[in-house]
């Protein structure tokens, strides 16, 4: 059955035995399609900022779990996937901006580091948002501190156990999702607190494991002070794409795209593809921004 005892233990920050849901990043299976147009149009007032991340706006303290659970009790989700109502899948304003996002999924098969990608981001002074899972952080704490100290990089929440975010136990790619509002809160807030302890500010963006969620869970995330972020373009299919396809995905991305790729697959060709795409992207006038720097949330 489900790993309920393990998840309940997360309320107390006990991450030992986290292997129960450690299937690596099942973002791998997400098809390389654009999600453009599947969510509500962004508000034009959200357009602000530039390539350099701005100090995050501090949200109000999240309501206590009992209040949240009561608020969403009985809500029945009708949507499921990487682009449900209440999620962001592209930047608020197209312009020349593009957001590179890289996931560190954690778990026994997902906690490695692509050193070529990290070196590329640092060498080329690229702005990017890094969605880090709690288990990846625990396996790479010194590197996480280094990434947090880079003003061009923004750390975001990729969950505690890398679970699809459901209030009813929906699954994605064979991974059982959270099954209640309480479990959604656990999945978000344990890593929320871990990231805040590292960066000093609460994370603003959440990407579920497998990138799947339902719209009720997305609303819970918003109540917790974060916002679910999907993607416009699948940049590496879980780092399974050859470099040429990564390059093609990047150079053909529409302005305003949020690109999902991975930083935890050293055997993949994500770094090589990004490096190959950079000259064309710069010739196109693309401006790399973090999600916070893009002003996607105001």
# residues near Zn ion by CB under 5 A: 4
Rounded distance, CA 34 to CA 9, Å? 37
CB-wise, 103 or 215, nearer to Zn ion? 103
Min dist CB 108 to Zn ion, Å, is 14
Candidate segments 23-31, 60-68, 193-201, 277-285, binder of Zn ion by CB under 5 A: 23-31
CB-wise, 98 or 156, nearer to Zn ion? 156
Min dist CB 55 to Zn ion, Å, is 27
Min dist CB 247 to Zn ion, Å, is 22
One residue of 27, 187, 215, 223 binding Zn ion per CB under 5 A: 27
Candidate segments 3-11, 18-26, 73-81, 213-221, binder of Zn ion by CB under 5 A: 18-26
CB-wise, 27 or 186, nearer to Zn ion? 27
Min dist CB 211 to Zn ion, Å, is 7
Question: ∠ CA(190), CA(191), CA(193), 5° rounding?
Answer: 70
Tell me the three-class secondary structure of 204-248, residue by residue.
CEECCHHHCECHHHHHHHHHCCCEEECCCEECCCCCCCCHHHHHH
Min dist CB 250 to Zn ion, Å, is 19
One residue of 18, 25, 188, 218 binding Zn ion per CB under 5 A: 25
Min dist CB 17 to Zn ion, Å, is 20
Rounded distance, CA 165 to CA 163, Å? 6
Min dist CB 36 to Zn ion, Å, is 21
Candidate segments 45-53, 99-107, 188-196, 214-222, binder of Zn ion by CB under 5 A: 99-107
15 phi/psi in degrees, rounded to 5: -100, 0
Task: Count how many Cα atoms sit within 13 Å of the Cα of residue 249 in the half-sphere of its side chain.
Answer: 30
Give the torsion sign (CA, 158, 159, 160, 164): negative
CB-wise, 265 or 286, nearer to Zn ion? 265
CB-wise, 106 or 295, nearer to Zn ion? 106
172 binds Zn ion (CB under 5 A): no
Rounded distance, CA 53 to CA 2, Å? 39
105 binds Zn ion (CB under 5 A): yes
Binding string, 201-240, against Zn ion, x = CB under 5 A? ----------------------------------------
One residue of 103, 187, 227, 287 binding Zn ion per CB under 5 A: 103
Contact (CB, 8 A) for 239 and 270: yes
Helices (H), 73-168: 115-123, 134-139, 141-149
Rounded distance, CA 120 to CA 275, Å? 7
CB-wise, 92 or 261, nearer to Zn ion? 261
Question: ∠ CA(189), CA(175), CA(238), 5° rounding?
Answer: 85
DSSP 168: S
Rounded distance, CA 98 to CA 96, Å? 7
CB-wise, 92 or 128, nearer to Zn ion? 128
Min dist CB 210 to Zn ion, Å, is 7
What DSSP line would sit under 97-112, residue for residue?
A: EEEEEEEE--STTT--
Q: Which residues bind Zn ion (CB under 5 A)?
A: 25, 27, 103, 105
């Amino acid at each position: 059955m489900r790993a309920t005892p393990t998840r309940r233990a997360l309320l107390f920050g006990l991450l030992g035995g986290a292997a129960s849901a450690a299937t690596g990043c099942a973002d791998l299976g997400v098809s390389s399609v654009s999600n453009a147009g599947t969510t509500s149009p962004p508000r034009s007032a959200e357009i602000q900022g530039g390539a350099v991340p701005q100090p995050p706006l501090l949200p109000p303290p999240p309501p206590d779990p009992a209040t949240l659970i009561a608020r969403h009790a009985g809500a029945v989700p009708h949507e499921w996937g990487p682009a449900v109502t209440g999620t962001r899948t592209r930047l608020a304003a197209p312009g020349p901006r593009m957001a590179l996002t890289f996931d560190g999924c954690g778990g026994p098969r997902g906690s490695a580091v692509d050193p070529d990608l990290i070196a590329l981001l640092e060498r080329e002074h690229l702005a990017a948002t890094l969605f880090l899972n709690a288990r990846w952080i625990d396996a790479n704490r010194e590197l996480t501190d280094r990434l947090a100290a880079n003003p061009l990089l923004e750390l975001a929440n990729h969950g505690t156990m890398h679970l699809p975010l459901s209030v009813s136990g929906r699954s994605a790619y064979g991974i059982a999702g959270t099954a209640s509002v309480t479990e959604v809160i656990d999945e978000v807030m344990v890593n929320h607190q871990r990231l805040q302890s590292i960066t000093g500010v609460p994370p603003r963006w959440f990407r579920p494991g497998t990138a799947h969620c339902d719209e009720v869970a997305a609303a819970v995330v918003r109540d917790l002070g974060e916002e679910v972020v999907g993607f416009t373009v699948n940049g590496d299919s879980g780092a399974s794409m050859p470099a040429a396809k990564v390059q093609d995905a990047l150079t053909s991305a529409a302005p305003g795209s949020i690109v999902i790729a991975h930083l935890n697959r050293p055997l993949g060709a994500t770094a090589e593809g990004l490096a190959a795409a950079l000259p064309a992207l710069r010739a196109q006038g693309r401006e790399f921004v973090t999600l916070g720097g893009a002003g996607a949330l105001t």
